[in-house]
Structures are given as C-alpha cells and as structure tokens.
C-alpha cells in the first residue's frame, strides 16, 4: 500500500496580520511624532499672528483716539472766533507743542493747502521769546532812556511768539549723533536674516507695495473729510500705523492732523524673541522625531534591504534576513514575510533541484529497460520472444507516458496554486459529493467509500478558503490511495470535524479531515517518506510501474499552499499493537469571515 507518513514539522512562525492603517501602531507613531513638532510651530505662528493683528488694531484705535482729541482741541483753540473759520497758525503751533506723545509716535499738522505747519520730529528745538522784566534802577544801572540801557519800553514790548528753529537768528539745534551701534547677538542676526528672507517672499513684497505710504495722498483725502486709518510701509519697508483726521470747525475743514507710530516692529521683534524658545523646542522635537523615525523605521528597512542583497548573491546566506518578529508593527511583519519568502524560495529551488534529479532517475529506469529490450529484440529468434520484448517495450513506453504526465502536472502545481483565486470551500459538501461519486461509479466487488458524520456537530460552518478544485484533487488522491490497498469488501471512510490547532499559541479553529481504510497499514519507518516524490510501494499482485509515486507528494504540496498540514498514521486495535489500516489526517485553518 502506498503508505502514508507524518507531515514534515513546520517551523513556528508568527502569522502576519493585516492591519488597518487607522489601527497601525507604526502609523500612529509616525503621525503623532511629526504632528507634535508641527503643532508647536502652528501654535507659535498663530500666536504671533494674533499678537501682531491685535497689536496693530490696538495701536490704530489708540492713535485714532489721540488724533481725534488733538483735532478737537485745535478746532476749539486755533480756529479763531470769527464768522469765517480759519486756522490760526501760531495758536495751532502752541497747541501742538503742548501735546504729549508717547515714544515712537510722530504728529504733523497740515493747513488747508496741504502745507506742513508742525512736525513733532523737527520742533524739539523751538524757542519761545518773551520780554524780560524791567531792570531795577541802581547805582550801577543806567537810567531809563539812556543809550546804554538797551531796554525797550513796556508798552512797546513785543508779545511772546513762537520762533521755529532757524528763524530770527536762532540756529537749528543739532541732534545728538547716535553712538556706534553695539554688536548684534547671534539671535538678533538670525532674526534679521529670517525677517529679510520673509520680506523677500513675493506675496509679502506685493503686500508691502500695495500698502506703501503716500502721505500727500492721505492728506488730500483727509482734506476732503475722509479719515485715513491703517497700517502702512515706509520706503525702507518699516511698518507704521497712521491716522489722518481733518481739523473741522462745524463742517468746515481747516487742516489735517496726521498721527503715526513706528514702534510696532520693535514690539513684534520682542514678541518674536519671546517665541524663540518655542521655535527651538519645535526644532529639537522635529530633530528627535526624525532620529526616532530613522532608528525605528529607516535603519531596520535598510538592514532588511542589505540582507536581501546578501541573500540574492549566495544561497549559503539564506538566513541573513534579520528576525524582527519581536516588533509588533509592519516592519516586524515585513521581516517575517521576507524570511518566510526567502525560506520558501530556497525550499522551492531545492525542490526543483531534487525534482530534476528524481525525474532523471525515474525516467532513466524505463529508458534503460527500453534500450535493453530493443537491443535484445534484434537477437530474438522466436515469435514468443519478440512478442514478450514488444510487451516490455509497450509497458515501458506507457510508464514513461504516465511519468511525464504526472511530472508535468506536479511541476505546474506551484504556478496553478499561485494563480488560483481563493474561494469558500465547504468541506462537508465536498466529502459528501465525493463519497456519492465513488459509490455510483465503483464496481460491485470494489471497496466502498462512505462519508461518516461526526459525533460532535461543529459550532461553525466547516468552510476553508482556497481552491475547490485542488482540495477535490487532494481528497481524490487520498481515496484512490486507500482504495488501492483496501481488500475486496473493505471500506474507505472520510470524515471532517472542527478542531483546535496545536503548537500555534493562538487557538486557531481548524477543520480536521481524515481518510482511513482497512488495508495492511503503513510501515512505521515510512510514515514520513511516503510523501516524497516518486516513492511507491506496490500492493501484492499489482503490476510494476502502474503508479508514479507523485500522488501523495502533490497532496502535501496543495495542503501546504493552503496553510495546512497532512500526516499519516496507522489505525490500531484495542490492544494497541494490531494494525487495522492506514489513516491520513489533513488540518486546514477555517475561514474567518465577517
């Protein structure tokens, strides 16, 4: 009987689980690590933007209030008392001198013709001229009216007046020259470089050009009665906020007050310096996350790639793929898949080499017999001898034909299994249909094939995912093998039940399919070797060469492709020693479908 043997022990392996990207630990690590640094930068940028916008709005509101107060004072004190309102220049200058401005602010006053009257930036050296008190006469004091007195009569004393710098012989006061600027720190130089780079961006440059200040245009608009308020940029690209309001008496516009502040950039610079620690934190977080991604993702993948190159160069390094199965993420799954793929490829290469040697050996036997028969045929003297030699030649040709057919089928099996699309296969229905087929087509004196219902009904449907055609081929090969060695009147029984995988550690539900017979059993030493290619053991009375020895090997090949195992054993009597027949067991994981 073609004996059945135990299946080759499989290497323990971790099954690669298909993870949704939403539940991937590696994807979560990548997103979280990158989002932390990005979040810090975004929060910092939004904070600075809000500070800038709020600062400008507050500045504009403050300047508008101050400018409105100044225009109201000018309208009250410097527009005369006549029926026709006019702007009193001297009174307006005196009023403007009394205006207290915060640091970084500048105020200007224009008349109705848009001429500049007062500018706080150049009026600091103005001098008020007032007469001195009359001198007291004394022994050394010249009398009044003396040519040496040089005094003026009280009645002719001029009224105090405002003398701008440079008028009436008063020199314009020289502004103190700024001392040499202190050397900038590294942070200040970095800030200046960043600001310059940002200013060079086309969109920012276009915005500055759009808000470029034209004070003449602002004054003319204000003279028409329209207030001008907003942020503007000077020719040197410095940011200012300015307000231009008309000076009115009732409805008559008499001039324009322009109030501006140029300390916004300084305040924003201080805010940027305050945000520098946040930027540094974001930089270091980005650096750390990049290093983490490099260490935990890039380097392992690089190791796997280099190991794959090593494996490709030499078959002696088939175990060079590092084992990263301890990582519970996609890289660990990739390592398991690469190691499994490498082992499978080299096993296939070894199988091909062994298969070629086995094919050569198996074909060589009938070829040798054919050559001997043909050589002897030339020397045959009787008709009986020639007929016997012809019979041998025909048998060898038939044997070679069966060998070539089975070898071709076995060689195509891997490709067919790879191309086959997985489909649900109901094992109970498959075995029932197979048993009915053999019952209807077998001879009366042939062993019977019977499907035996399990005593313990399964709690789930005994459905596996794979190729129904290939699973049917496995069942046919096992039944044909059992029928070959079953005695006349014997019986071949097929069963299937639910079971649990052993040695996997995950309690996987499996389908356990068995085929047993009433034959002589399997030699204990051949329980494993019967699954080798071209292994045959003929029953008594069967012609030599009627089997190629590939049936059980093909069964093992198909079952392995379905992630299952196949093994052979003997059925023993109650005494534990008497062999009652052979038994083949197939274990395949059940299909878990939602």
Under 8 Å between Cβ of 496 and 427:
yes
pLDDT at 503 over 90: no
DSSP-derived secondary structure letter, 539: P
Higher pLDDT, 191 or 476: 476
pLDDT at 194 over 60: yes
pLDDT at 515 over 90: yes
The model's pTM: 0.46
pLDDT at 292 over 50: yes
Residue 308 banded pLDDT, cuts 50, 70, 90: confident
Residue 135 banded pLDDT, cuts 50, 70, 90: low
Distance CA(477)–CA(54), nearest Å, equals 84
pLDDT given for residue 141 in this prediction = 45
Q: Give the best-scoring range by mean pLDDT among 140-149, 317-326, 474-483.
A: 474-483
Residue with tokens 């059993």: 521
Residue 561 banded pLDDT, cuts 50, 70, 90: confident
Higher pLDDT, 216 or 178: 216
Reported as type and span, the H/E element at residue 328 is: none
pLDDT at 525 over 70: yes
The pLDDT of 186-194, averaged and rounded, is: 70
Distance CA(587)–CA(314), nearest Å, equals 35
326: closest CA among 12, 14, 11?
14
Least confident span in 35-44, 74-83, 231-240: 35-44
Distance CA(10)–CA(344), nearest Å, equals 12
Q: Each residue of 539-558: pLDDT tens digit?
A: 554 444 445 567 788 888 88
pLDDT at 192 over 90: no
Residue 12 banded pLDDT, cuts 50, 70, 90: very low
pLDDT given for residue 371 in this prediction = 83
Higher pLDDT, 274 or 586: 586
pLDDT at 109 over 70: yes
DSSP state string for 90-148: HHHHHHHHT----TTEEEEEE-TTS-EEEETTT-TT-EEE-PPPPPPP-TTSPPTT-TT
Domains of the chain and any CATH numbers: 39-119+184-272 (3.30.450.20), 312-419 (1.10.287.130), 420-594 (3.30.565.10)
Q: Vertex 496, ends 494 and 500: CA angle to 5°?
A: 140
β-pair type (448-451, 491-500): parallel
Q: Each residue of 27-58: pLDDT tens digit?
A: 667 777 777 767 776 666 666 666 777 788 88
pLDDT at 586 over 80: yes
Maximum pairwise Cα distance, the chain:
185
With a pLDDT cut of 90, the percent of the chain lying above it is 10
Residue 414 banded pLDDT, cuts 50, 70, 90: low
114: phi then psi, degrees, rounded to nearest 5: 65, 25
The pLDDT of 215-219, averaged and rounded, is: 90
Query: Which pair of structure tokens corresponds to residue 72?
Result: 């109201």
Report how far apart, in Å, the C-alpha atoms of 253 and of each of 53, 179, 194, 451 are. Answer: 32, 44, 45, 112
Residue with tokens 């054919």: 370
Distance CA(328)–CA(535), nearest Å, equals 43
Q: List, in sequence order, every residue forming a beta bridge with 587; answer none if it has no partner.
A: 512, 565
Residue 489 banded pLDDT, cuts 50, 70, 90: confident
pLDDT at 11 over 70: no
For residue 315, the SS3 value is helix
Report how far apart, in Å, the C-alpha atoms of 153 and of each of 133, 135, 136 are. Answer: 11, 11, 14
Distance CA(86)–CA(111), nearest Å, equals 10
Residue 24 banded pLDDT, cuts 50, 70, 90: low
Residue 163 banded pLDDT, cuts 50, 70, 90: very low
Least confident span in 22-36, 61-75, 104-118: 22-36
pLDDT given for residue 167 in this prediction = 42
Residue 417 banded pLDDT, cuts 50, 70, 90: low
465: closest CA among 358, 561, 352?
561
Least confident span in 177-191, 240-254, 268-282, 331-345: 177-191
pLDDT given for residue 26 in this prediction = 62
The pLDDT of 447-454, averaged and rounded, is: 88
Which distant-in-sequence residues (6+ apart) come within 8 Å of 247 by Cβ? 71, 74, 75, 79, 87, 109, 253, 254, 255, 256, 257
Distance CA(117)–CA(70), nearest Å, equals 15
CA within 13 Å, CB half, 210: 7
Q: List, in sequence order, every residue forming a beta bridge with 213; answer none if it has no partner.
A: none
Average pLDDT of the chain to the nearest whole number = 76
The pLDDT of 210-224, averaged and rounded, is: 89
Distance CA(75)–CA(192), nearest Å, equals 44
pLDDT given for residue 493 in this prediction = 92
Burial class (CB in 10 A: 0-12, 13-18, 19+), 513: buried
Which distant-in-sequence residues (6+ apart) come within 8 Å of 415 by Cβ? none
């Amino acid at each position: 009987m073609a004996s059945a043997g135990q299946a080759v022990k499989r290497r323990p392996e971790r099954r690669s689980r298909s993870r949704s990207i939403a539940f991937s630990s590696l994807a979560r690590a990548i997103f979280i690590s990158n989002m932390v640094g990005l979040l810090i930068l975004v929060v910092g940028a939004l904070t600075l933007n809000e500070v800038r916008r709020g600062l400008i709005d507050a500045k504009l509101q403050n300047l508008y209030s101050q400018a409105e107060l100044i225009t109201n004072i000018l309208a009250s004190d410097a527009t005369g008392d006549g029926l026709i309102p006019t702007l009193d220049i001297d009174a307006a200058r005196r009023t403007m001198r009394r205006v207290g401005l915060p640091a970084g602010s500048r105020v200007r006053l224009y008349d109705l013709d848009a001429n500049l009257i007062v500018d706080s930036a150049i009026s600091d050296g103005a001098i008020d001229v007032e007469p001195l008190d009359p001198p007291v006469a004394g022994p050394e004091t010249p009398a009044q009216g003396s040519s040496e007195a040089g005094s003026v009569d009280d009645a002719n004393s001029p009224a105090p007046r405002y003398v701008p710098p440079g008028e009436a012989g008063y020199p314009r006061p020289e502004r103190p020259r700024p001392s040499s600027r202190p050397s900038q720190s590294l942070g200040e130089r970095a800030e200046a470089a960043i600001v310059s780079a940002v200013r060079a961006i086309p969109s920012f440059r276009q915005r500055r050009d759009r808000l470029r200040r034209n004070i003449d245009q602002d004054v003319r608009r204000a003279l028409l009665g329209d207030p001008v308020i907003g942020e503007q940029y000077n020719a040197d690209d410095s940011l200012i906020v300015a307000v231009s309001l008309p000076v009115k008496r009732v409805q008559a516009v008499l001039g324009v007050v322009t109030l501006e502040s140029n300390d916004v950039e300084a305040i924003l610079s201080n805010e940027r310096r305050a945000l520098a620690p946040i930027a540094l934190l974001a930089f270091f977080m980005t650096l750390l996350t990049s290093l983490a991604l490099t260490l935990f993702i890039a380097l392992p993948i690089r190791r796997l790639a280099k190991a794959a190159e090593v494996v490709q160069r030499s078959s002696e390094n088939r175990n060079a793929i590092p084992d990263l199965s301890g990582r519970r993420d996609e890289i660990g799954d990739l390592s398991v898949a690469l190691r499994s793929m490498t082992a499978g490829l080299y096993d296939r290469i070894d199988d091909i080499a062994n298969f070629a040697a086995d094919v050569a050996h198996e074909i060589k036997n009938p070829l040798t017999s054919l050559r001997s028969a043909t050589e002897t045929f030339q020397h045959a003297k009787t008709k009986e001898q020639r007929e016997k030699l012809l019979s041998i030649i025909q048998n060898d040709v038939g044997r070679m034909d069966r060998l070539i057919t089975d070898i071709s089928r076995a060689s195509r099996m891997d490709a067919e299994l790879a191309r086959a699309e997985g489909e649900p296969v109901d094992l109970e229905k498959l075995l029932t249909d197979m048993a009915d087929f053999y019952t209807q087509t077998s001879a009366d004196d042939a062993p019977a094939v019977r499907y035996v219902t399990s005593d313990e009904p399964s709690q789930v449907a005994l459905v596996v995912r794979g190729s129904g055609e290939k699973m049917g081929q496995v069942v046919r090969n096992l039944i044909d093998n059992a029928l070959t060695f079953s005695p006349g009147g014997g019986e071949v029984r097929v069963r299937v039940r639910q079971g649990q995988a052993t040695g996997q550690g995950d309690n996987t539900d499996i389908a356990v399919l068995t085929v047993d017979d009433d034959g002589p059993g399997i030699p204990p030493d051949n329980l494993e070797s019967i699954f080798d290619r071209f292994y045959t053991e003929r029953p008594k009375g069967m012609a030599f060469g009627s089997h190629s020895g590939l049936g059980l090997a093909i069964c093992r090949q198909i079952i392995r492709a379905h992630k299952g195992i196949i093994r052979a054993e003997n059925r023993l009597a109650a005494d534990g020693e008497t062999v009652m027949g052979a038994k083949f067991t197939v274990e395949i994981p059940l299909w878990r479908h939602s």
